[in-house]
A = this chain, B = another copy of it.
Amino acid sequence: MGTGNGIVDDVDRALIAELQRDATQAYATLGKAVGLSAGAAHDRVRKLRERGVIRRTTVDVDPTALGRGVLAFVMVDSSAWMGDATESFAAVPEIQEAHIIAGTASVLVKVRTATTDQLQDVLRRLYTIEGVSGTQATVVLETFFERPVRAD
């Protein structure tokens, strides 16, 4: 069940690390980087996709260039069980991540907006979600780095 299907060996990890770095490179290049032919590299990557280890190929974007220069983490307190509130949080487009957490708050969300005014508006909308009783927003002043999950 869930996601434990199949094994991911060292070559798979090396392939994933390469793809995380640059998913546009040719399979011949990719194969050379891990000591495989183009065909074999292609085959392994295809299987990694089929098994859901690689979820998708996507692009990393500069948030500032899209007018999402304000980043904040918000601890959401609740007076009820929030386990089924996925859709409510997903409906707020400025929310980039939402997690149920252990501890006093019950949900932690990562929010990106253009301005702090818009951040305030997101907080207002959070309060309209059933069960939400409070929020504590923490604004990010500077991001050191954001990087992919370590593959090796």
Contacts and interface: CB of A to CB of B under 8 A. Distances in A.
Copies of this protein in the assembly total: 2
A68 B149 contact: yes
- Secondary structure at the A interface, as helix, strand, loop or mixed, is mixed
A139 B96 CA distance: 18
A66 to B, nearest CB: 6
B16 A100 contact: no
Contacts of A56: 21-23, 59-60
Nearest to A15: B59
Nearest to A85: B144
Given A4-B67, A23-B59, 6 more contacts: A8-B66, A19-B59, A58-B58, A58-B59, A101-B138, A112-B149
